[in-house]
């Protein structure tokens, strides 16, 4: 007998037979003969039935997903001796792997010539693409050691069942019994992240605060909203005797923009979702432009083509979204009575929505009126422009006569570090002076004309 690419001989049963079966199933199939020397000499097996049982158990217990449908185990008489044969077809759920090793090179084997060798990461990804469909969320997860503590808590809080039956119906578990990439996204081991930052002024120069979120997309979504909500300040206006509280950003707009970024991003690409909060705006950027064939005008009309429909279905089950195509309209509706409107920017690989701070212009205009300073002109006292917050602080000091640092923190709803920067700038320009000791320092308007 002669071996080759699709034929392998084993003198007797050994555990490594599973590697040969794996390699055949992941490549082009093949035939394994047990009871034959490497040089083709037929020896036969003493206990054919016992050998077949051991082969069956080894294949069933060690290889994932189940490859037994693509194997046929029997016996054959060769040269008057009984040989156990294992016929293996090319499987449809590649890559097959050792359950104890996972979907990585040390767990996935292929045929290379007449040898059985570990598959490269490139070869593994190619098999996943070939058998998992075109969508990232449908493909088999490379990591099969997933846990769902955060997702279980999230589902439980919303009184939605999340057992194995639901994981299958939601397509977290594929037909072959393995976890999909959708499961990876919802798992505690999710490899994608959200980065958030708060900046001083209107440029990315000075950080106030920043966070990077990891773990399940569901927990990232909650934590991202909480972070933004803490930085979504409430400002008071008065209409006669009535006080009207207005937040910098409409809550509906924040919610829908975050959901849009999470549901529609391209998870096949690396890179985090970015949330940047400035004095005048918030920018949310997600990886992946619009789905091919869809334009910005189409999107604004409510036409929707979801990149991750199974993820969107999970969010629908959790009552986080209502229907496709309504999120963007809700964002713009929340700004219907505002002079400033959201803006959408799209490239081939990124999507950005900019939410204006609805209080920014009001505060700037109010400060200008109180202080006699123009938003568009240099400060009357100096030859360079003050930022809106610096103008607000100066107007407050002039109006009150003298103030403490604590009073400024409360008035501007800003951090101590930010107030320190503002005071230093105003003192450098001679617009204010400090009186008293460090602990009881009060600030009042300067003498500069």
pLDDT for the residue 321: 86
pLDDT for the residue 194: 97
pLDDT for the residue 149: 96
pLDDT for the residue 374: 36
Cβ–Cβ under 8 Å, residues 96 and 76: no
pLDDT > 90: what percent of the chain? Answer: 52
pLDDT for the residue 447: 63
Residue 139, pLDDT above cutoff 70: yes
- Distance between CA atoms of residues 121 and 129, nearest Å: 12
Cβ–Cβ under 8 Å, residues 149 and 188: yes
pLDDT for the residue 323: 62
- Distance between CA atoms of residues 259 and 275, nearest Å: 13
**Band of the pLDDT at 291, cuts 50, 70, 90?**
confident
| Pairwise pLDDT comparison (321 vs 172), residue with the higher score | 172
- Distance between CA atoms of residues 244 and 237, nearest Å: 5
Give the residue-averaged pLDDT of 360-368. 58
Residue 6 makes CB contacts below 8 A (sequence gap 6+) with: 24, 28, 29, 30, 31, 111
Residue 402: strand pairing partners: 444
Q: At what angle do helices 388-400 and 416-428 cross, to 10 degrees?
A: 80
pLDDT digits (tens, 9 = 90+) for 333-360: 999 888 899 999 988 789 999 999 999 8
Cβ–Cβ under 8 Å, residues 285 and 273: yes
pLDDT for the residue 147: 96
Residue 87, pLDDT above cutoff 50: yes
Residue 274, pLDDT above cutoff 50: yes
pLDDT for the residue 429: 81
**Band of the pLDDT at 89, cuts 50, 70, 90?**
very high
Question: If you ran DSSP here, which 8-state letter would residue 139 be given?
Answer: S
**Band of the pLDDT at 50, cuts 50, 70, 90?**
very high
Buried b (16+ CB within 10 A) or exposed e, 110-122: bbeeeebebbeee
pLDDT for the residue 3: 59
**Band of the pLDDT at 183, cuts 50, 70, 90?**
very high
Give the residue-averaged pLDDT of 306-320. 91
Phi, psi of 230 (to 5 degrees): -65, -25
pLDDT for the residue 386: 76
pLDDT for the residue 376: 36
Sign of CA pseudo-dihedral 115, 119, 122, 125 = positive
pLDDT digits (tens, 9 = 90+) for 230-252: 999 988 766 566 667 788 999 99
CB atoms within 10 A of CB 151: 26
- Distance between CA atoms of residues 338 and 70, nearest Å: 64
Give the residue-averaged pLDDT of 381-385. 48
Give the residue-averaged pLDDT of 284-307. 77
Q: Are strands 30-34 and 7-10 parallel, antiparallel or unpaired?
A: parallel
- Distance between CA atoms of residues 42 and 59, nearest Å: 24
Residue 317, pLDDT above cutoff 60: yes
**Band of the pLDDT at 373, cuts 50, 70, 90?**
very low
Q: Which domains are assigned to the chain?
A: 7-132 (3.30.950.30), 136-186 (no CATH), 194-356 (3.30.565.60), 360-445 (1.10.10.10)
Sign of CA pseudo-dihedral 151, 152, 153, 158 = positive
pLDDT for the residue 19: 95
pLDDT for the residue 82: 96
Q: Are strands 194-200 and 273-277 parallel, antiparallel or unpaired?
A: parallel
From its phi and psi, is residue 368 left (phi > 0), alpha (psi between -120 and 50) or beta?
alpha
- Distance between CA atoms of residues 254 and 227, nearest Å: 11
Which stretch, 21-30, 89-98, 392-401, has highest mean pLDDT? 21-30
Give the residue-averaged pLDDT of 157-166. 94
pLDDT for the residue 293: 67
Through-space distance between the first and last CA atoms of the chain, rounded to whole angstroms: 105
pLDDT digits (tens, 9 = 90+) for 105-126: 999 999 998 899 999 988 888 8
Question: If you ran DSSP here, which 8-state letter would residue 94 be given?
Answer: P
Residue 292, pLDDT above cutoff 80: no
pLDDT for the residue 213: 96
Give the residue-averaged pLDDT of 11-29. 94
Give the residue-averaged pLDDT of 69-88. 94
Phi, psi of 189 (to 5 degrees): -100, 10
């Amino acid at each position: 007998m002669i071996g080759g690419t699709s034929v392998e001989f084993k003198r007797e049963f050994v555990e490594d037979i599973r590697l040969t079966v794996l390699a055949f199933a992941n490549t082009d199939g093949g035939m394994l003969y047990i009871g034959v020397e490497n040089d083709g000499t037929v020896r036969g097996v003493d206990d054919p039935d016992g050998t077949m049982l051991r082969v069956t158990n080894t294949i069933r217990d060690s290889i994932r997903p189940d490859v037994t449908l693509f194997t046929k185990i029997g016996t054959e008489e060769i040269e008057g001796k009984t040989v156990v044969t294992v016929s293996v077809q090319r499987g449809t759920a590649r890559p097959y792997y050792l359950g104890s090793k996972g979907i990585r090179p040390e767990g996935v084997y292929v045929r290379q010539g007449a040898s059985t060798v570990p598959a490269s990461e490139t070869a593994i990804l190619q098999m996943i693409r070939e058998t998992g469909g075109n969508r990232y969320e449908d493909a088999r997860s490379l990591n099969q050691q997933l846990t769902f503590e955060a997702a279980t808590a999230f589902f439980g809080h919303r009184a939605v069942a999340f057992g194995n039956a639901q994981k299958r119906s939601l397509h977290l578990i594929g037909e072959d019994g393995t976890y999909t990439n959708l499961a990876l996204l919802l798992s505690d081991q999710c490899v994608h992240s959200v980065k958030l930052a708060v900046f001083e002024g209107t440029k990315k120069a000075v950080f106030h605060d920043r966070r990077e979120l990891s773990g399940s997309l569901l927990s990232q979504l909650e934590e991202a909203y909480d972070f933004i909500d803490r930085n979504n300040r409430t400002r008071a206006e008065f209409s006669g005797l009535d006080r009207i509280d207005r937040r910098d950003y409409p809550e509906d707009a924040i919610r829908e923009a975050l959901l849009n970024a999470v549901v529609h991003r391209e998870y096949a690409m690396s890179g985090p979702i970015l949330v940047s909060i400035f004095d005048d705006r918030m920018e949310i950027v997600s990886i992946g432009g619009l789905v091919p064939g869809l334009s910005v005008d189409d999107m604004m009309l409510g036409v929707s083509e979801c990149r991750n429909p199974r993820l969107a279905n999970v969010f629908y089950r959790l009552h986080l979204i209502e229907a496709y195509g309504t999120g963007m309209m809700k964002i713009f509706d929340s700004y219907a009575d505002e002079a400033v409107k959201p803006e959408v920017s799209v490239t081939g690989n990124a999507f950005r929505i900019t939410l204006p701070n609805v209080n920014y212009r009001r505060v700037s205009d109010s400060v200008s009126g109180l202080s006699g300073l123009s938003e568009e002109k240099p400060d009357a006292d100096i030859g360079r422009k003050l930022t809106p917050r610096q103008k607000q602080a100066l107007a407050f000091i002039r109006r009150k006569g003298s103030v403490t640092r604590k009073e400024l923190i409360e008035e501007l709803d800003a951090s101590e570090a930010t107030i320190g920067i503002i005071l230093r700038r105003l003192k450098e320009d001679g617009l204010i002076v400090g009186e008293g000791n460090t602990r009881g320092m009060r600030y009042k308007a300067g003498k500069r004309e």
